[in-house]
């Protein structure tokens, strides 16, 4: 289980013990406290853990058969070679890495030099958008549906959760509950549930209603709980996610129970002489999704740089100072929460309409965590981070699953995601493509200035962000 934790030590150029006079050399029994040796130890343990993670399935009847299979020679050898190789790389870089470091710094500075150039950035965005429009039409059916059901939907969910976790610094673990609410509103208004709606709506006009319902649920849940200390919010939202699932399973007369809904109608547009019905083909859904993702990106980007976005930043940096400066903290927190909820609700509607059927088992808490991983991996508070993080982490497992060489098992996914969460928090808490502001905040928080999340305020007085 032990991942290479000691790699975090930013080394203050340790003097090698051979250079010291004999009485100051490290005694042999304290050699483990040498940073290099400690790192090696952590890397070897990491190798064993990696072997377990990638090894065969166990079955529990035959005790420890999985462990036994994982720790066999070629497999364990490859894993250990990988992690020890990593150790060699790190050690070499620490010891003789001046040139390597400057070279890698130059490469990583390249986008930073180009991106502030507005003309270049605009061109790059247009090119990306063009690619997103043209490219999917050339994919085969399987990858098109992956593009909608895995990549597209999760990109949308991730940028929505990014508002809650990244902008406002609130940890929401019941995010998928709003997805469920969106999906059930769609099913209700198109008559797919055992109870019948007052009026059968054109399936397309379900979208605003579902968004409004999810947003309302967000406000109802948010107003009482967002007064609380931040970490209680995580627990309450977790409980809320569970309650929604239990209610959906047990209120059979309303939701159809564990067996799920009836057939939901596809979206259809009949307005101004246009008659269009979204069918089984994923591509039209992809374009609909693309429109909404681009709209959401545009809206959230403007929000981030508006008065509201600055209020969120103030709240997550120091809630008490924000309140003292006259910001209505609760209002802005609820606003972030409701925006996240409505995004999730819309995604639920879209999935319900495309797949035409769902059951309560589709809304497990695991999915909330999955979306959290996407946001953290990409970079909290960074829109490009959320998009790239979601796209990569959703596409890669599919690719590895289909690819004959890897044969990646879907049920192992969460092992890797759990490891990613821990490793990201240890080594790169700002994420793959960090938002500049968020990175500075995290750095400041580590020096005891500000908190970088809305976790401290509420029922109790402000507490130190971790112990010394």
Partner 1 sequence: MCFTQNFWSLLISGLADGFLYALIALGYTLVYGVLQLINFAHSEVFMSGGFAGYFVLQATLGSHTTSGWGSVGYVALGIAAGAAGGGVVAFLLERVAYRPLRRRKAPRLAFLISAIGASYFLYNIAGKEFGHNALEIPAPFTNLPWFSIFGAPVQAYYVVIAIAAISMLLLVDRVVSSTKLGKGIRAVAQDAETASLMGVNINRIISQTFVLGGLLGGAAGFLFGLNAGVVYTMGFTPALKAFTAAVLGGIGNVRGAMLGGLVLGIAENLPMGCVQTAWRDVIAYGILAIVLLFRPTGILGERLGRAA
Binding residues among 442-461 for partner 1 as defined by CB under 8 A: 442, 445-448, 451-453, 455-456, 458-460
8 Å CB contact between 261 and 193:
yes
User: Half-sphere exposure (CA, 13 Å, Cβ side) for 105?
Assistant: 7
Residue placing its CB nearer to partner 1 in the complex, 206 or 329: 329
Binding residues among 197-226 for partner 1 as defined by CB under 8 A: 224-225
DSSP letter for 16, please.
P
Site string for partner 1, 418-437 (x = CB under 8 A): xxxxx-xxx--x--------
Per CB under 8 A, 228 contacts partner 1: yes
What's the closest the beta carbon of residue 376 comes to partner 1, in angstroms?
Answer: 6
Per CB under 8 A, 239 contacts partner 1: yes
Per CB under 8 A, 414 contacts partner 1: yes
Binding residues among 36-75 for partner 1 as defined by CB under 8 A: 52-53, 57-61, 63-64, 66-67, 70
Per CB under 8 A, 406 contacts partner 1: no
What's the closest the beta carbon of residue 336 comes to partner 1, in angstroms?
Answer: 14
Per CB under 8 A, 35 contacts partner 1: no
Per CB under 8 A, 5 contacts partner 1: yes
Residue placing its CB nearer to partner 1 in the complex, 147 or 376: 376
Percentages helix, strand, coil for the chain, rounded to the nearest 5? 70, 0, 30
Which residues, including other chains, have CB under 8 Å from residue 334's CB and lie 6 or more apart?
218, 219, 222, 223, 226
8 Å CB contact between 232 and 458:
yes
Sign of the four-CA dihedral 62, 66, 71, 73: positive
Task: In whole angstroms, give the CA distance from residue 135 to residue 139.
Answer: 7
Per CB under 8 A, 415 contacts partner 1: yes
Binding residues among 134-193 for partner 1 as defined by CB under 8 A: 165, 169, 171, 173
Residue placing its CB nearer to partner 1 in the complex, 87 or 204: 87
Per CB under 8 A, 229 contacts partner 1: yes
What's the closest the beta carbon of residue 13 comes to partner 1, in angstroms?
Answer: 18
Per CB under 8 A, 296 contacts partner 1: no
Per CB under 8 A, 369 contacts partner 1: yes
57-66: long-range pairs with CB below 8 Å, 24+? 57/409
Task: In whole angstroms, give the CA distance from residue 88 to residue 96.
Answer: 12
Per CB under 8 A, 376 contacts partner 1: yes
Helix 35-54 and helix 413-427, axial crossing angle in degrees, nearest 10 = 160
8 Å CB contact between 360 and 258:
yes
| 3-state SS class at 380 | coil
Per CB under 8 A, 3 contacts partner 1: yes
Residue placing its CB nearer to partner 1 in the complex, 52 or 206: 52
What's the closest the beta carbon of residue 38 comes to partner 1, in angstroms?
Answer: 12
Per CB under 8 A, 231 contacts partner 1: yes
Give 398-420 as a DSSP string. Answer: HHHHHSTTT---GGGHHHHHHHH
Binding residues among 338-367 for partner 1 as defined by CB under 8 A: 365-366
Q: Pull the structure tokens for residue 334.
A: 């609820």
Q: How many residues bind partner 1 (CB under 8 A)?
A: 80
Per CB under 8 A, 77 contacts partner 1: no
Residue placing its CB nearer to partner 1 in the complex, 152 or 169: 169
Residue placing its CB nearer to partner 1 in the complex, 41 or 287: 41
Give 104-146 as a DSSP string. Answer: HHHHHHHHHHHTT-HHHHHHHHHHHHHHHHHGGGGS-HHHHHH
Task: In whole angstroms, give the CA distance from residue 210 to residue 221.
Answer: 16
Q: Which stretch binds partner 1 (CB under 8 A): 17-25, 82-90, 233-241, 383-391?
A: 233-241
Task: In whole angstroms, give the CA distance from residue 263 to residue 209.
Answer: 19
Residue placing its CB nearer to partner 1 in the complex, 152 or 256: 256
């Amino acid at each position: 289980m032990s991942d290479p934790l000691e790699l975090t030590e930013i080394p203050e150029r340790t003097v090698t013990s051979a250079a010291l006079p004999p009485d100051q050399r490290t005694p042999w029994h304290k050699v483990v406290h040498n940073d290099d040796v400690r790192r090696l130890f952590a890397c070897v343990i990491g190798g064993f853990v990696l072997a377990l993670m990638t090894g065969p399935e166990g079955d529990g009847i035959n005790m420890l058969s999985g462990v036994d299979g994982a720790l066999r020679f070629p497999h364990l050898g490859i894993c250990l070679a990988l992690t020890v190789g990593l150790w060699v790389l790190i050690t070499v870089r620490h010891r003789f890495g001046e040139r390597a470091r400057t070279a890698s710094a130059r490469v990583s500075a390249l986008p930073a030099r180009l991106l502030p150039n507005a003309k270049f950035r605009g061109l790059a965005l247009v090119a990306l958008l063009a690619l997103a429009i043209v490219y999917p039409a050339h994919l085969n059916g399987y990858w098109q549906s992956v593009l909608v059901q895995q990549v597209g939907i999760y990109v949308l969910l991730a940028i929505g959760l990014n508002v809650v976790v990244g902008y406002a610094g609130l940890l929401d673990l019941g995010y998928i509950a709003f997805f469920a609410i969106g999906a059930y509103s769609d099913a209700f208004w198109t008559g797919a549930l055992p109870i019948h709606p007052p009026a059968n709506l054109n399936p397309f006009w379900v979208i605003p209603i579902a968004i409004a319902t999810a947003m309302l649920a967000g406000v109802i849940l948010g107003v009482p709980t967002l007064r609380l200390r931040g970490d209680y919010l995580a627990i309450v939202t977790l409980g809320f996610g569970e309650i929604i699932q239990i209610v959906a399973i047990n209120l059979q007369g309303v939701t159809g129970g564990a067996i799920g809904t009836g057939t939901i109608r596809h979206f259809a547009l009949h307005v101004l002489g246009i008659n269009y019905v979204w069918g089984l083909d994923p591509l039209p859904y992809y374009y609909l999704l693309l429109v909404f993702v681009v709209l959401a990106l545009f809206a959230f980007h403007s929000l981030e740089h508006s008065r509201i976005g600055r209020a969120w930043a103030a709240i997550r940096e120091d809630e008490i100072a924000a309140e003292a400066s006259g910001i209505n903290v609760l209002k802005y927190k609820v606003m972030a929460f409701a925006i996240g909820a409505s995004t999730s609700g819309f995604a639920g509607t879209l999935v319900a309409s495309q797949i035409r059927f769902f059951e309560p088992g589709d809304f497990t808490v695991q999915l909330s965590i999955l979306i959290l991983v996407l946001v953290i991996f990409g970079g909290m508070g960074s829109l490009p981070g959320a998009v790239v993080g979601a796209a990569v982490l959703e596409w890669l497992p599919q690719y590895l699953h289909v690819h004959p060489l890897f044969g990646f098992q879907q049920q192992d996914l969460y092992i890797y995601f759990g490891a990613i969460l821990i490793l990201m928090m240890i080594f790169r808490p700002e994420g793959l493509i960090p938002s500049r502001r968020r990175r500075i905040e995290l750095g400041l928080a580590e020096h005891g200035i500000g908190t970088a999340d809305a976790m401290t305020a509420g029922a109790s007085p402000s507490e130190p962000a971790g112990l010394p």
